[in-house]
Amino acid sequence: MSYTSFEAFFDQEYAGLVDQLTLICGTRTIAEDAVQEAMVRCWIRWRRISRYDAPQAWVRLVAVRISARSSWRDRRLASRTATKISVVSSSETMCDEATDMKRCLELLSVEHREAIVLRYFVDMSVDDIASHLKLNPGTVKSRLYRARAALAVAQAHQTQRSVNNES
């Protein structure tokens, strides 16, 4: 798609990129920060990036990398200060409604979450994901398979808890 200006590109793509990154990295705040930083980098290089077939893919990739570095820094800081990070246990995670998809995605590693979001929320093909992430298609298929398996286990646990609670 051709954009008339960076401002038009930003207006059209920003919200969708934030939504995608929220699913990938788990929190909207980190997603917004990462997309904003990626957009700044895009603006600096706009003359070149505007000629790409999908400049939003470039911004998404940069934003994912920024959020990954942010997550790494956060974990490192937390370990230094001996802060305990509470994690939602799988027994509290419910996958039976679409509104709980975010919780389910949080169970996955960043790599698996990214593959799921790009495949099922952005509707990219396996080959497109592989190209976007600079991976082999087989690696993408493996990540998707493992992610779906983990989500199925979470769903099975939720279903079993629902049955037990009804008894």
8 A C-beta contact, residue 41 and residue 17: no
Which residues 6+ apart lie within 8 Å of 135 measured at CB?
129
Cα three-residue angle 18-69-72, rounded to 5 degrees = 115
Average pLDDT over residues 11-35: 91
This prediction has a pTM of 0.58
- The whole-angstrom separation of Cα 91 and Cα 105 is 15
Band (71; pLDDT cuts 50, 70, 90): low
Evaluate if residue 24 carries a pLDDT over 60. yes
- The whole-angstrom separation of Cα 29 and Cα 18 is 9
- The whole-angstrom separation of Cα 116 and Cα 151 is 10
At 122, is the secondary structure helix, strand, or coil? Answer: coil
Ordered by start, the domain boundaries in the chain are 1-85, 88-167
- The whole-angstrom separation of Cα 104 and Cα 159 is 14
Tell me if the domain spanning 88-167 has CATH number 1.10.10.10. Answer: yes
Instruction: Enter the DSSP assignment of 121.
Output: I
- The whole-angstrom separation of Cα 128 and Cα 149 is 22
Average pLDDT, the chain: 79
Chain centre distance of CA 49: 22
